[in-house]
Amino acid sequence: MLKKILDRLKKYTDEITSSKEKALKALIDAGLVTAYGQPTDLYKN
């Protein structure tokens, strides 16, 4: 079961890091950055 989870995580990571646009979208969807690539209020120092 752990191998299955790790395989899915690797596949997801490979997909979202395949382009700058996909990576930015993933960070936006996770609530880490704004559409302009700036950290959201929760992640600002």
pLDDT tier for residue 8 given thresholds of 50, 70 and 90: very high
pTM of the model: 0.76
What Rg, from alpha-carbon coordinates, does the chain have? 13
Tokens of 8: 């899915």
Each residue's pLDDT tens digit, 17-30: 999 999 999 999 99
pLDDT tier for residue 10 given thresholds of 50, 70 and 90: very high
**Where do the structural domains in the chain lie, given as residue ranges?**
2-43
Beta bridge partners of 33: 39
Mean pLDDT of the chain: 95
